[in-house]
Chains A and B, each alone.
Chain A
Amino acid sequence: MQRGRVRIEVKGLDKSFDVDGRPLKVVDGVSFTIREGEFVALLGPSGSGKSTILNMIATLLGSSGGEIEIDGEAIVTNRPRRNVGYVFQKDSLFPWRTVAGNIGYALELIGVAAGERRDRVEKAIADAGLKGFDDFYPASLSGGMRQRVALMRTLIVRPEILLMDEPFGALDTHTKLEMHEVLLRLWDRQKQTVLFVTHDLGEALTLADRIILLSARPGRLKQDFDVPFARPRNAVTLRETAEYGALFSRIWHSLGEEFARGAAP
């Protein structure tokens, strides 16, 4: 599915961390390209550096080598780009703000007038299926509801590129499926360019157009799979189809080798 212009370009990306004075290589020469409107899953066992790669693209982390370009421009560490949204692995809502306060946060930053802000927040709350929870504080919400709020907090400024770091990793299977439905529904409207980090193959197959498979540490690009399932998808029934099963076993075999390698001493 090679459509549209290149939005994210990663070339020969390296990253080493200092562990007890010795460099530990976690990302090794990773290159890939993501085009306009693509939903790409970055899949790999833990320790494959997938979150590290995402954080470097998000400018939260500097690289040790290689290049990252967004819309043809090299990125600068700690200078996030306006059109890029990020959803955290850990629930990072501001606990002192209500649901509405969290979702409207980015609008406050850019000085959207209170009236317009209220309308947009109200719409976002309805979109996320959180009607009636406007004045709740995050502490009194379930994990799934908190991630819905986190998702809307990011989406409210309509980012064109969406970086997601295992956003549903901490949720139980049922809630996860619910969140997949929510995300697919919202994504279908705007077709953002998405890079979604996960270690859950089922999740990657449900959501993505393409799966980039990383090897166990140090993370290298292992394989690139197309996920040709028709859209709009249903997160539940999709898993019952034969195509899903076939592609699942193909990728599972390759991923399994990496799980084994990662587990080896």
Chain B
Amino acid sequence: MSRRWSTLAWQIAIGLALLAVWQWGWLVNSRVPWLVPSILDPYFVSTPSQIWDEFLRLSCLKPGGGDWIGWNDGSFPRCLTKAQNNLWIATAVTLRNTLFGFLTGVSSGVVFGLLLGRSDRLSEIFLPYIVAANSIPRIALAPLIILAFGIGAVSKVVTAWLIVVFLVFFNTFEGARSVDRDHVNAARLLGASEWQITRTVTIPSTMAWVFASLTPAISFALIGVIVGEFIGAEHGIGRMIIEAEARGEAAGMMVAIFVLMIVGVVLAAGVRRLQTYLLRWRPSQQVAT
């Protein structure tokens, strides 16, 4: 058996063992309490089978709790329109707000970073303010943002934006400051004007720094949106977690958490692919995550 297969076998075995402990561990607790920690109480963490059932219910695949959806009798679309915050809507809303926050954060971070990175005067004036603002934990601002922008999508995008913009700004700023003098001189000696130097040297070499910040940026955007949804929202996965918590339903929270995990993995993988493509000219992929 090759090493790869043996690794895979171990991974599956460990996963199954963890699931088994999660599913049946609490049964053992009633007989030998000292062996099983009380965190395994299904009231706190639910069980895999309950989570699966809850997933089917929240996703309208088994809306009644009993039968699988009948595509013919139209119960799936009925459930989708009836349930305020079903899993599909919640995921779509959270995903959309995350992407908007990410895109606005990255683009404005790049613009500010280039502006200040290229101008000693501007950075002299503004840097203290930026450093001060950056040292505020952005999460602390979330309630304020909800107050100002309401419980709709805008407040979530703004929260995500606030987190992403600083990260991308500092990366861009550093990148714009560390442009290789020789590249600038080479461009100038080849006849480039100041604007052409900015466009053909500063921006491309800064982009390497910007791209390196994209993977953390997308994760941070997701965090920002979820926190915003915790505090006040109508839709979204964060909202789903809060609803389940209010009802004391661990299974509902677990479904939302698993969906978030998948969303996080997919987003990060997508950004990493983009990054690898954009930085294909680099000798060795030294991409910070």
Which residues of A does B touch, CB under 8 Å? 58, 60, 78, 80, 82, 84-86, 88, 90, 92, 94-98, 105-106, 108-110, 137-140, 153-154, 157
Contact = CB atoms under 8 A, between A and B. Distances in A.
A94 B281 CA distance: 10
A60 B196 contact: no
Interface of B: 180, 182-183, 185-192, 196, 200-201, 204-205, 207-208, 280-283
B191 A82 contact: yes
Contact of B186 (A92, A96, A137, A157): A92
Given A80-B189, A109-B190, A137 B196 contact: no
A85 B282 contact: no
A78 B185 CA distance: 9
Contact of B282 (A86, A94, A139, A154): A139
Given A92-B185, A92-B186, A109-B191, 17 more contacts: A60-B189, A80-B188, A80-B191, A85-B189, A92-B180, A94-B201, A95-B282, A96-B208, A96-B281, A97-B204, A105-B200, A106-B190, A109-B192, A110-B191, A137-B281, A138-B281, A139-B281
Contacts of B196: 109
Contacts of A80: 188-189, 191
Contacts of A88: 182, 185-186
A14 B208 CA distance: 40
A101 to B, nearest CB: 10
Q: Which of B182, B187, B191, B200 has the most CB of A within 10 A?
A: B191
Residue of A60, A84, A88, A95 ringed by the most chain B CB atoms within 10 A: A95
The 10 closest A-B pairs by CB, nearest first: A139-B283, A92-B182, A137-B281, A86-B189, A106-B190, A92-B186, A96-B204, A96-B281, A80-B189, A109-B191
